[in-house]
Copies of this chain bind each other. A is one copy, B any other.
């Protein structure tokens, strides 16, 4: 079974392949992809074998074909809509992040409890939390990004899950756990910075 790290590597291979396509490459070897993704060639072939992706002994993989297969595995062959809960600093940035659209990911709406944030006319619209359930249902949305304060995070998580959301990316600085059948990934900016600080200090002290 593929785990999180494996799927992240698949995304990297996919991104590398897109760049190769732009350069009109037709074939690629596991060695090339390994370099691009910062892993070993054995890892690349092992990852592919997990998904039944085969190449050509001696001839490597066809760029176009391989990209298609990875795109299908990663769900890139269809549009995915998500919502953003909490339109503060981070939430607002995500609402308008141009990188999503480029990759077939679409922000359907933002939600907040503060009426001052509402803006149903903007693109994407910012709506009251009360309208969340309806939008999720009519548009069949499965993904949410949480960018609310820590004290609200757990409650909001339960709200979106009960409304039908299956996957959550959480930016609130508190580690949320997913109930079975759902997936919650946490991005904690403070923790990331602490991590950098630790390893910088460790490197200095080793000298």
Hey, which bits of chain A sit against chain B, CB under 8 A? 2, 4, 7-8, 10-12, 15, 37-38, 73-76, 80, 82, 89-90, 92-94, 96-100, 103, 105, 142-143, 166-169, 173-175, 177, 181, 183, 185, 187-203
Contacts and interface: CB of A to CB of B under 8 A. Distances in A.
Given A193-B105, A194-B76, A167 B7 contact: no
Contact of A99 (B7, B143, B190): B190
How many subunits of this chain does the assembly comprise?
Answer: 2
Contacts of A8: 191, 195
The prevalent SS among residues of A at the interface is helix
Given A93-B90, A177-B38, A188-B11, A82 B193 contact: yes
A6 to B, nearest CB: 10
Given A15-B173, A80-B197, A167-B200, 5 more contacts: A11-B188, A89-B96, A143-B197, A181-B203, A187-B187
